[in-house]
Amino acid sequence: MLLTIDIDGEWSVRELAEVLDSLEALAGYFIDGSIVRFGLYPPKVDPFDGSATLAPNTTFRYHLYLSRFSYASPGSFDVLGAAKIIEQIRLFLEFLINLWIARNDRRLNRDERHLELAQRKLELIQKIQAMQPETIDFIKNGASNSILGAVLQGKITGVSATSNKDE
């Protein structure tokens, strides 16, 4: 299944990498409850099977594949993955977007904006805990910080899933 994530605003390479890393970690979390962040360890990739060793006794398997990226204002990127996982990620992102994009306030100055984002993040985590308890370990671990930040800053603006022709 194909997941399209709509983006807007300025993105650094690190911000985009962290969001993609969090999406991959979220996929792993929905598959088996594990939270493995690729960016936390220097990886050693096995050229034969594509797995990456992150730490002793930790093997990272890719669950999502970046299939398209369009950086514009607005832009989007597509990731491919198993239908069940893509659907869970779509629901999670839609929940975040529906909760906060409508309340985006661009008039605050920089210091007020940082404080507002921290308060919104706390409120969002509390709402997620109440409404989507199955994702709370992923949130508490901090693996979702880049996704939460991108949604709260208006950088992730939409999400949709479509069937992959190859499925």
Burial class of 160 by CB neighbour count within 10 A (0 to 12, 13 to 18, 19+): middle
Residue 58: the pLDDT is 52
For residue 125, pLDDT beyond 60: yes
Domains: count for the chain: 1
Q: Does residue 85 lie within any of the structural domains?
A: yes
List residues bridging with 60 in a β-sheet. Answer: 52
With respect to residue 89, please indicate whether it lies within any of the assigned structural domains. yes
Q: Which range of residues forms the domain containing residue 9?
A: 2-162
What's the pLDDT tens digit per position in 69-120? 888 878 898 998 888 888 988 888 888 887 765 555 544 555 676 777 778 7
Whether 106 maps to a domain, the answer reads yes
27-57: per-residue pLDDT in tens?
888 887 777 666 555 556 666 766 655 554 4
Flag whether 84 is in a domain.
yes
The single-letter code of the amino acid at 25 is A
Residue 60 lies in a domain: yes
pLDDT at 38: 62
Does residue 55 or residue 16 have the better pLDDT?
A: 16
In a domain, 167, yes or no: no
Q: What is the distance between the alpha carbons of residues 131 and 145, in angstroms, rounded to a whole number?
A: 18
In a domain, 83, yes or no: yes
Q: How far apart are CA 44 and CA 49, in angstroms?
A: 12
Instruction: Tell me the pLDDT of the chain averaged across its residues.
Output: 76
Q: Which amino acid is at 122?
A: L
Specify if 23 maps to a domain: yes
